[in-house]
Amino acid sequence: MQNRKLGRSGLEVSALGFGAMGLSFGLGPAADRQEAIALLRAAVDHGVTFFDTAEAYGPFTNEELVGEALAPLRDRVVIATKFGFALDPTTGATVGVNSQPRHIREVVEASLKRLRTDTVDLLYQHRVDPKVPIEDVAGTVKQLIQEGKVRYYGLSEAGAATIRRAHAVHPVAAVQNQYSLWTREPEAEVLPVCEELGIGFVPWGPLGTGFLTGKIDANTRFDSSDLRSTFPRFTPEAMKANLAFVEMLRGFAARKNATPAQIALAWLLAQKSWVVPIPGINKLEHLKENIASVELVLTRDDLREIDAAASNIEVKGARLSEGLLDLSER
């Protein structure tokens, strides 16, 4: 496994991270706990050092899982978690956003206990809170860093202007927005500002939340506990239309003796040296498949060909349901 530096922050991680959310939440029923722990530890054995979780995943259960799995390996890994959602105290359901300074501190203290650690390596604001100036948020995280409870500061689903304002208060180490071959909005403003300011970029959903693997088709149906059941891009009609995208990847992969997932990840890794994708992984064979993408070299001609082919395919459906889009800075 190769390593990459997240911009000029000094934070070095494996070139491919591990998005842990789906082991507990959001992509159907939770995985068997002992199997999930074994998979997380196997990822470390395969060179993965960067693990992504959040209090909202479960809620809480994903942090507990990651904490239990990685506690014996703590000195070998970088753990990222997030604050920023308002959770119903009774049901745990997300009911909005909350980045009030006091709430940030409460979330961090609880996350540290669940993660079985003294320090969060990378703390993201999960979603921007329009009611709290980003300067107050950055200032609070800066204090937590000074206190040794957090090492690095990040933003998720943030726009360029917010990134600039936050970075002026305390350096932002990483921005985590959705980005893949079929979700390219960050290229307009966010990636350029990250490059200018020396900020790493962490694409979530790098495999199109599973669609770009080629293992989903128009007949696939999602459990009600799977967030994709609400995404416009994952209706049967949209998936049928979007299969053209997968066929393009599949044809290119055949020429490279690779899989569509490996091409999609290699394409992301080729965009910038400070881009670190965090695919969701729930099986050992998927872990090995994804890791192999780090060694897959795409030439400039390859990248031009992929971009040209992708530009001729219209992706049908919004990337998220309207409610989730409303929580992102679009």
- DSSP H stretches of helix in the chain: 33-45, 61-70, 101-115, 134-146, 160-169, 190-197, 236-255, 260-271, 284-292, 300-311, 322-325
Residue 136 CA: distances (Å) to CA of 29, 91, 104, 321: 37, 29, 11, 29
- Phi, psi (rounded to 5 degrees) for 257: 55, 45
Reference 281, options 13, 2, 20; nearest CA is 20
Q: Using only C-alpha atoms, what is the Rg of the chain?
A: 19
Bridging pattern class, strands 85-87 and 94-97: antiparallel
Mark whether 57 is an active-site residue. Answer: yes
For 18, the 3-state DSSP assignment is strand
**Residue 276 near residue 245 (C-beta atoms within 8 A):** no
User: Which residues are marked as active site?
Assistant: 57
